Structure 1
Amino acid sequence: PESRLDDGIIHLFYVTAGISRTALLRLFLAMEKGTHLASNCQHLVHTKVRALRLEPNTGLKGKITVDGEVVQYGPVQAEVHRGLSRVISG
């Protein structure tokens, strides 16, 4: 809700360890409805970044999604390039 197309910021949300399966399911359902920010989940963290690199635990296997798309399991990087593109709407 706070993001703007020209702010040069990635709004990163992540879930910390220790969340129960029930709470995680509730959070996912709230995300689907767009009410996750109002859920006051103590395990949901929001931070603003200009770049990030996520490296999964090498001892585990899993799936990684970026903006809803499944990507190859491994390190993921993202960086904002402010002013790189323009949005035209009609």
Structure 2
Amino acid sequence: MKLTGDGGLGDECDNNANCNGNANLHCEDGICKCADDFELNVETLTCDKKPGGLGDECLTDADCDVEAHLECNPSLDKCDCMPGFEIDPDTLQCV
């Protein structure tokens, strides 16, 4: 879905009701932007769900941030460190 028209990405707004919530938008600083937990996909001009972080719920590996060395742990249904990585207690990152 392209984010154009009334309440679309980049449109002016006074509150969240002015933005297209179905497109995962919210009003921030007077402009409709991608809502929390979503990021702009510049190729499709849509707001896509951000990959989950350590401990976030997941169903598949695609739900987790691969760049942070995370995969979905099926026994926990949560993002966990990939094999060969462990949680650094100081940074709480997979290293």
Provide TM-score, normalisation by structure 1. 0.23
The structure whose residues are more often helix, as a share, is 1
Which structure has the bigger radius of gyration? 2
Provide TM-score, normalisation by structure 2. 0.23
Higher RCO, 1 vs 2 (CA within 8 Å, ≥6 residues apart): 1
